[in-house]
Amino acid sequence: DKITAVVPAAGVGSRMAADRPKQYLLVAGKTILEHTIDRLFCHPAIQRVIIAISKTDPYFSALPLATDPRITLVDGGAERADSVFAGLAAIDDENSWVLVHDAARPCLQLSDLERLIATASLSECGAILASPVRDTMKRGFVQSPDKPQGIRETVDRENLWHALTPQMFKVKQLRDSLQHALEQGAVITDEASALEFCGYVPQLVKGRADNLKVTQPEDLALADFYLQQLTK
C-alpha cells in the first residue's frame, strides 16, 4: 500500500546558527533536505512526499527537487506541530498511512524504514523509531541561579528511549490527535506525543542511533561521515 510522507522543513535552525536554515546546508555533496528526501524515496511504498517550508523560503526553489512531480509543498507554521498539521491537510485519503520525518534527519537507513513500516502497518495506533537511552540519566534542579544545577535523582533508564523519526500513523488518527492536543495547549514535540495526549498507545520500534537530528555545528561532520558510509 502507498504511504505519504510529510517532512517538516520550515525551521530556522537557531541552534545551528548558520547563514541559512540547517536543512539547506551541504553535507556529502548535497543539501541535508535532499539527502532526507532521497532516503524516503528508497522505499517503494513512499511515492509522495509533502514538504512544509517557510512562506519566505528562498532556497527550496533552487533545488532539483523543486520540479519533482512526487513532491508537494505546503506552508509551514510557527511550531513543528503546525508544519506537520499543514502537511496532513494536503492528504485526501484520511484512511491511509502517513509517515512524518524531520528534514534534519538525513541518515535514515532503509532497514529502519522497513521495520518501522512493518510494525506500524500491523498496529492500532502507529509506531515510531526510537533508540534506547545509553547514558545514566539524571534529573537536575536549580539550587540557586548563580550555581550549576544540582542532581535531584537518577532516573531509571530501563524503559527510556530517544524518540526519533520517522513516526507512522493513520492520517485521521494523527490529524484528529494533533488538532485536539494543539487546541488543549499540550506541549507537542513529536507526533506520538499528540496521540499519547489523546490516550492512544503508539509502539516503539528500535532504530539506529546514527539516525541523528542534525542540530548543532558539530553534528555536520557526523552526518557527513554516516552519509559517506551509506552511499559507499
Q: Which residues bind Mg ion (CB under 5 A)?
A: 11
Q: Interface with ligand CTP includes 100 (CB under 6 A)?
A: no
Q: Interface with ligand CTP includes 23 (CB under 6 A)?
A: yes
Q: Interface with ligand CTP includes 78 (CB under 6 A)?
A: yes
For ligand CTP (CB under 6 A), the number of binding residues is 22
Q: Interface with ligand CTP includes 12 (CB under 6 A)?
A: yes
Q: Interface with ligand CTP includes 86 (CB under 6 A)?
A: no
CA 217-221-227 angle, 5° bins: 130
Smaller CB separation from Mg ion, 113 or 181: 181
Among 1, 14, 146, 148, interactor with ligand CTP by CB under 6 A: 14
Q: Which stretch binds ligand CTP (CB under 6 A): 39-47, 73-81, 143-151, 192-200?
A: 73-81
- Quick one: 231 exposed, middle or buried, by C-beta within 10 A (0-12, 13-18, 19+)? exposed
**Burial track 207-227 (b if 16+ CB lie within 10 A, e otherwise):** beebbbbbeeeebbeebbebb
Beta carbon of residue 48, minimum distance to ligand CTP (angstroms, whole number): 18
Q: Interface with ligand CTP includes 20 (CB under 6 A)?
A: no
C-alpha pair distances (Å), 59 with each of 90, 93, 125, 179: 22, 30, 36, 30
User: From ligand CTP, Mg ion, none, which one binds at residue 76 (CB under 5 to 8 Å depending on kind)?
Assistant: ligand CTP
Smaller CB separation from Mg ion, 11 or 106: 11
Rg (CA), the chain: 18
Q: Interface with ligand CTP includes 166 (CB under 6 A)?
A: no
Q: Interface with ligand CTP includes 144 (CB under 6 A)?
A: no
Residues 86, 77 contacting (CB under 8 angstroms):
yes
Report the phi/psi class of residue 185: left, alpha or beta, with left for phi > 0 and alpha for psi in -120 to 50. left
Q: Which helix (H) or strand (E) holds 138?
A: strand 137-141
Site for ligand CTP in 189-228 (CB under 6 A): 213, 215
Beta carbon of residue 67, minimum distance to ligand CTP (angstroms, whole number): 21
Alpha helices in the chain (DSSP H): 32-41, 80-88, 110-121, 171-183, 191-197, 219-231
- Interface contacts to ligand CTP, rule CB under 6 A: 8-15, 21, 23, 52, 76-80, 83, 102-104, 213, 215
